[in-house]
Amino acid sequence: MHLMQNESTLSFWIEPKMATGRKPVDKHVVFNCTICLQQIVKPRSLPCSHTFCEECLQHFISREAIGREESSFEFKCPICRRVSGCPEQGVPVEEWAKHFPANLLLNSLTTSLEEQSQDKLCAMCVRDNKHVKAEYLCNDCRELICAACKGIHKINVILQKHKISPINMKDLDDDLQFPDVDEPCHIHQGKFVEVFCLDHDTLCCSICFATKHRHCERVEALDEIVKGIEKSNVERNIGVLSKLAQVANKIVENKERTIRESNARKETILSNVSNEIENLKTKLDECQQQFEKNFLKLHEENEERQKECVLDLKHFLLTIRNGESLLSAVQGKGSTKQTFITAMKITTDLEEQFQQHKANYLEDEEVQYEHDHTIILKQLYEQDKIEDVNMRKPYPAKSAK
């Protein structure tokens, strides 16, 4: 499902709207981690851009690493299943999480200005058990650093090409509480998005452009694109996310209802079978045990599939709500460029997740249990067993004429 059907992305953004001011937002914005489902703490981003609590991510990595060879160990993102490996050479697996880049955008949105001024420490020094005030932002490392660590960047061959900018909150608008953060390309490590392909509605780095979009007719620099964008138009994207959340929530409710109905039907069938078997004594007892074993196995498999679908949908719903909150917050506190990039990331990511979910569960239609307990005696004499419960798909509803 495309979130913006029948209209180009650029026209969606630059179409004039009635409101022109920023939507007010809370001073402290709350985003939830999709692992623990609680407020995110110390957000760390994987190469696929999905973000989790540092502690939750480390627990997840450590659990996945059990019984695996550390030298070749890789793990899949809990959300998109994209494979990630060791963030820095030589780092033990039990410390991987804190070496993935901090999500500066989320940190800026979830921390008030007053808190930022008290907790703006150099990330490199913190890892060395030192507390030094940060003065610069390394866009490549996506971390705040001090003057001394800036010097280390200059003399280190690997780090000297990193883009470093000073932190200067006074240069920002009153409503903007963080500077623009260069958005890394999730495909090419070390590269940042610089252009936008209107032909494919895609954010591109220089390598993306050179390898996949150099023949596209409509490719514009981000700085040019955002000149025609009204900040308030992000509300339309927020509205789309809100509607999508409603749809996802409805699907979750339907799946949960199916599980309840399946359980109720299971109890009814087991009760009917049990009553008949009581009248058939020993032979019926033996058949009952075999019947229950087969049926409960069938039900457990069906219920597990339904619960897995519900869990994935809940994660998808939470991702949608996080995207909605993030986009609302960025609209109120971020620059036009940052807002545009964030919106494109959210919509693209949600569309990919939706397509993945559709591919996994579209054909997983709701089924109903079916069993005729009134012919058990006949089955025993003819087949020496009780027929297993059948699962059938409900008949499609007749269309109204």
Mean pLDDT of the chain: 79
Would the pLDDT of 118 be above 80? no
Q: Mean pLDDT throughout 337-353?
A: 88
CA angle 143, 145, 148 (to 5 degrees): 150
Q: Count CB neighbours of 180 within 10 A.
A: 17
Write down the pLDDT at residue 224: 82
**pLDDT value of position 172:** 39
Q: Which two tokens stand for residue 295?
A: 């049926």
Residue written as token pair 């308030």: 232
pLDDT, position 259: 93
The share of the chain scoring above pLDDT 90, in percent, equals: 15
Return the structure tokens found at 153.
């960047």
Distant-in-sequence, close-in-space partners of 328: CB < 8 Å, separation ≥ 6: 23, 25, 234, 238
Q: Which long-range contacts (CB under 8 A, 24 or more apart) does 218-225 make?
A: 219/195, 220/195, 220/196, 221/194, 221/195, 221/196, 222/193, 222/194, 222/195, 222/196, 222/337, 222/340, 222/341, 223/337, 225/10, 225/196, 225/340
88: left (phi over 0), alpha (psi -120 to 50) or beta: beta
Answer whether residue 22 shows pLDDT above 70. Answer: no
Q: Is the pLDDT score of 183 beyond 90? A: no
Q: What would the pLDDT profile of 272-294 be if each residue is shown by its tens digit? A: 888 877 766 677 778 778 888 99
Confidence (pLDDT) at 399: 46
Q: 281-333 and 336-361 helices cross at what angle (nearest 10)? A: 170
pLDDT of residue 68: 87
Other Cβ atoms less than 10 A from the Cβ of 256: the count is 14
Q: Residue 174: what pLDDT? A: 44
Q: What is the pLDDT of residues 233-279, one digit of tens each?
A: 667 777 888 889 899 999 999 999 999 999 999 999 999 888 877 76
- Give Cα 254 distance to the centre of its chain: 22
